Amino acid sequence: MTAFYLSKPYDPPQAPQNLPLDRPWALLGGNSPQQFMKTYWHKKPLLVRGAIPAFELAKRMGEPLGSAISAEELFKISSNEAVESRLIKAKPWTFTDGPFKKKAIPSLESPNWTLLLQGMEARHPAAANILSWFRFIPDARLDDLMISIAGPGGGVGPHFDSYDVFLIQMSGRRHWRISEQKDLSLNPDLPLKILKNFKVEQEWDLEPGDMLYLPPHVAHDGIALDGGCQTWSVGFRAQSYKEILQEGLWRLAESLEDIPELEKRFADPKQTATSQAEQLPEELIKQVAQKLNHLKLDRIETFLPGIAAYLSEPKPQAFFDGSADELSPEEFSFQLSKRTVKLHPQTRLLAIGARIYCNGEDVTAGQAGSIKKAWRALAAKKQFKGSVGKIDANNSLFDAFEAGWLVF
């Protein structure tokens, strides 16, 4: 039995509400968040030894720390149909989607397998706390926290990601090899996206508490050295401009329903007789151009609400079963003044100035000032406690609570 099986589970703290952005952080190798973003973010890799100092301190005291989530817990979570999970085996490479029964997962000491679990911030408070450490990066960029647990030799092969990722070693050791090579062609004969020609440039063994940051398109390969090796990956999404603009335009088209003027029918009393009936009439082109100009489609402000709504949508696997607390609007208002309401772990919130978008919806439009204030607090601090006055029928805060988007 490997020694880390006997380690105490690490209890990651919640980050403070106001992060010290100009002071050095151990998590970032002595860089402040400002320095990290300027020097490394989206630019070059960074290896941080002792990114979580508690691991080294506990080791010196003879009380080593291990992952906050045990292997048994992870295996149980992988059996949940609502969780995106994958089992990858090497020699030969195979790929299976979950959910998984426990007997389908190899033992911790069996070689050459890896279990991946996505969206773990919604499944365990420790994972949600880890994500809070990275709120010096805009929420709109955050994807999720993935946990990888593997047997000796387990990994997913040399590959690259199209997004930024922080790889935190939580249990056991993992050997990392990276390369900033330009050749990112894939092997067409494998079921996984594995690089065809991987040329190692740097390599390290990461111990529990160490972290490796990689910007997009840096080739990397992580191989577990111990049974039960756990790596926690904090990933940041990057959609294509095409996807962002398509979603913004689609929501802009939906918003046209709110412009009564556009309900009027096209009229062409000035249309003259034509010998080219097949041509789109100039009068139609002229009037449509006028309407488009009135909509000011050349301004970025026109697209931003739709883009914010899109980026605030929860992940496809997110599931909300409604509030477990059946409260009347009056009871909800009373509880708000006494208790703290927080975002459900799968709820996404984004802001454009004073407008707040929750799970794809503008929740501040037409709301009272006290409700808007509550939403701004939820967006900035992920929690709110205070008086909002009388809750009427048109109240987005209560609606979100009833939908399960907010929880006490």
**Percent of the chain surpassing pLDDT 90:** 78
pLDDT at position 206 is: 98
Rounded mean pLDDT of 63-68?
Answer: 95
Residue 71 phi/psi, 5-degree rounding, is -60, -40
* pLDDT tens, residue by residue, 214-238: 999 999 999 999 999 999 999 999 8
Using an 8 Å Cβ cutoff, are 154 and 222 in contact?
no
Using an 8 Å Cβ cutoff, are 107 and 154 in contact?
no
pLDDT at 333 over 50: yes
Please report how the helices 241-255 and 300-311 are oriented relative to each other, as an axis angle in degrees rounded to 10.
100
Task: Give the chain's mean pLDDT.
Answer: 93
CA 129, chain centre distance (Å): 13
237-243-249 Cα angle (round to 5): 130
For the chain, the C-alpha Rg in angstroms (whole number) is 26
DSSP 206: E
d(CA 274, CA 140): 53
d(CA 7, CA 230): 13
pLDDT at position 6 is: 62
Beta strands in 59-156 (DSSP E): 65-66, 85-89, 94-97, 113-117, 142-150
Using an 8 Å Cβ cutoff, are 219 and 159 in contact?
yes
Higher pLDDT, 326 or 159: 159
Distances in whole angstroms, Cα of residue 250 to Cα of each of 200, 234, 307, 362: 44, 30, 10, 15
pLDDT at position 300 is: 65
Distances in whole angstroms, Cα of residue 118 to Cα of each of 80, 107, 251: 12, 21, 28
Identify the band that residue 323 occupies on the pLDDT scale cut at 50, 70 and 90. Answer: low
DSSP 180: -
pLDDT at position 211 is: 98
Token readout for 84 is: 């995106």
Strand 355-358 with 341-343, pairing: unpaired
d(CA 59, CA 168): 17
pLDDT at 2 over 80: no
Q: Which amino acid is at 205?
A: D
270-273-277 Cα angle (round to 5): 110
Identify the band that residue 29 occupies on the pLDDT scale cut at 50, 70 and 90. Answer: very high
* pLDDT tens, residue by residue, 103-158: 999 999 999 999 999 999 999 999 999 999 999 999 999 999 999 999 999 999 99
Using an 8 Å Cβ cutoff, are 23 and 248 in contact?
no
pLDDT at 21 over 80: yes
pLDDT at 381 over 80: yes
Distances in whole angstroms, Cα of residue 392 to Cα of each of 10, 20, 358: 44, 39, 19
Strand 164-171 with 349-352, pairing: unpaired
pLDDT at position 3 is: 46
pLDDT at position 1 is: 40
Beta strands in 207-324 (DSSP E): 211-214, 219-224, 229-236
**Percent of the chain surpassing pLDDT 70:** 97
Identify the band that residue 304 occupies on the pLDDT scale cut at 50, 70 and 90. Answer: confident
Distances in whole angstroms, Cα of residue 28 to Cα of each of 21, 24, 95, 139: 11, 8, 34, 19
Token readout for 110 is: 């069996």
pLDDT at position 296 is: 76
* pLDDT tens, residue by residue, 186-214: 999 999 999 999 999 999 999 999 999 99
Q: Counting every residue, how long is the chain?
A: 408
pLDDT at position 385 is: 93
